[in-house]
Structures are given as C-alpha cells and as structure tokens.
Amino acid sequence: MSEGDVERTPTGVADFDSIIGGGVPLGSVVLLLGDVGGGGLEFALTSAAKIGLVKEFPETKGFILGHAGRDGVLPESMSYVTFSRSKEDILREVKLSFTKDFHESLESNLLFKDFSKGYFMRTVVPTTWVDSDGSDLFADKKEDDVLEALVTFLDANAPRSLIVIDSLTDLVVSDAVKFEDVVSMLKGIQRMAKKWESVFYVLLTDEILDRKRQQMIIDSVDGVLRFEWAKFHHTSKRQRYLYVEKFMSVLPHLDQERIARFATLITSQSGFVVINTERVG
C-alpha cells in the first residue's frame, strides 16, 4: 500500500503533521507518555479543539490544519474519557489556559464520559464528592468493573472517532484494577481500532510504572509519543520536547529528514505548537 492509500487523521499540530505524512493513520492507538506538564495532555486537547473547529467551520481546514493536514480524514465524533476528573474540571482548566475558541470547540464537539463514580467506588472518597454525569452505566455492574464499563462505552462510541483516554495512570495505580487486565484491554483496543477506523490518544505519566510494566504498555500500542522537559546547559531555563519513540508508520519520515526531536511550546492562542526540529548531525 502506498503512502497515498493510507488515510490519516491530522493531529492538529501542523508542523508535526507536515513531517509525518499528514497525520496519524486511522486505526492507531497512540500512547502519549510524558513528564508532568510535558505537553501530552495539551497535545490531545489541541488536536480535539482544532478538529472541532474545522468540523464547525470547514472553510478553515487549510488554515487551521495546515497544508499537510488539509486532505486528512476528520473523525465523525470525538470522545474524552476520564476516570477521576469531571467534565467541568477539564473545561474550566481549558478556559483558563486557552482561547475562547478552543474552549467552545471542546465544549461543543467532545462527548465527555466520566467514570469517576465507578473508579472511586471502593476508595475512601465519598460518593458525595464524585460528580456524576447522570449515567446508570454502573447500576447493574460489579463494583470493580470500570474496564468492562469502558469497553461498553467504546463499543457504542469508538467507530470512526477520536478517543482521548485521560488517563491510563489512574488505572495502573488503582488497587481495584488488575494491571494485566489493563494490558489486555489495550491490546483489544489496538485490534478493534483498525476495524473502527478510529484514533486513540492514551495518556500515561512517565516512570509511574517500573520499567518492565511500562514496556508492556508500550508493546500494547501502535505508537508512542514522548513528552519531556529538558534543561538548557548552564541555565535554569527549561524546554519541552517531543520524541517519537515508537511508530512504524511515522519513524521512516523522521529518519528521512534526520529528525531527532521536536522542540515544542504551549500557547493560549494555538495550543501545542512545534517551534523547531533538531536534526541528527
């Protein structure tokens, strides 16, 4: 299959898409692995917000997504899955951090699914502290069946969609969820994503797991984008970087351009932005 035959969904980060062939291939499960504040969440939110804006205003596609993303396939729907944070909390954070256009795009175009009710059920957190989305999804399920509820949700909402899972960290640190079940679920999602023709962005904090378990997660996804902070030499200033750690359909493009990493910036106006590419000498 030639590159032109591969349908891709733009990431919304135009300079990144221009190098990786126009976006992420449909059917990809992408792990956004990173330092706290390294940019993984902002990358996912930027992608969803810009795609949402283009869906509302199709005439802006070339301007918002750039030349490379102009011919990309937009998801029919977008969902944001969370286990410990409420929709209101996430949108409030977006409102404080980004422009009104970003906030309105995410509020209008994202289907938020909050699994907090089930996630906190067997913890010390009282039910009165957990915001409910009004769903009865857990009414007939066992107390510890968060993963089963997630699978049920994905069966109904994942086809031809962009799905953000925020975050895998919540699942792997929970005593109520078996790590082996999380790995099995990821492998199942990886298989189904191809049939669904969907794209998944799955967030995970780097080094929250031991090396063996983190590698098991990495082996269960199609691509890994690593987001990290690095200090400049002889100064206290820090710079965010994006590395493509694993991605069979993306790495050849980087090797051809001899790109080692991307220097990034997060702005209120444009969200996650690539500001420079660092090449192998």
**Cβ partners under 8 Å of residue 127, min gap 6:** 117, 120, 121
What's the structural domain count of the chain?
A: 1
The pLDDT of residue 132: 53
Please list the residues that pair with 202 across neighbouring strands: 31, 165
Structure tokens at 154: 């994905």
Q: Using CA atoms, how far apart are residues 91 and 52, in angstroms rounded to an integer?
A: 15
Give the residues of the chain that fall short of pLDDT 70.
Answer: 1-5, 122, 131-144, 233-235, 281
The pLDDT of residue 88: 93
Domain with 143, as residue range(s), is 3-279
Structure tokens at 102: 């970003």
Q: Can you give the CATH number for the domain in which 40 is found?
A: 3.40.50.300
The pLDDT of residue 252: 83
Q: Using CA atoms, how far apart are residues 77 and 157, in angstroms rounded to an integer?
A: 8
Residue ranges with strand state E in 57-150: 77-82, 110-114
Instruction: Decide if 162 contacts 198 (C-beta within 8 A).
Output: yes
Please list the residues that pair with 114 across neighbouring strands: 82
The pLDDT of residue 182: 96
Q: Using CA atoms, how far apart are residues 130 and 137, in angstroms rounded to an integer?
A: 15
The pLDDT of residue 175: 87
The pLDDT of residue 138: 40
The pLDDT of residue 140: 42
pTM for this predicted structure:
0.91
pLDDT in tens, 81-105: 999 898 999 999 999 999 999 999 9
The pLDDT of residue 236: 72
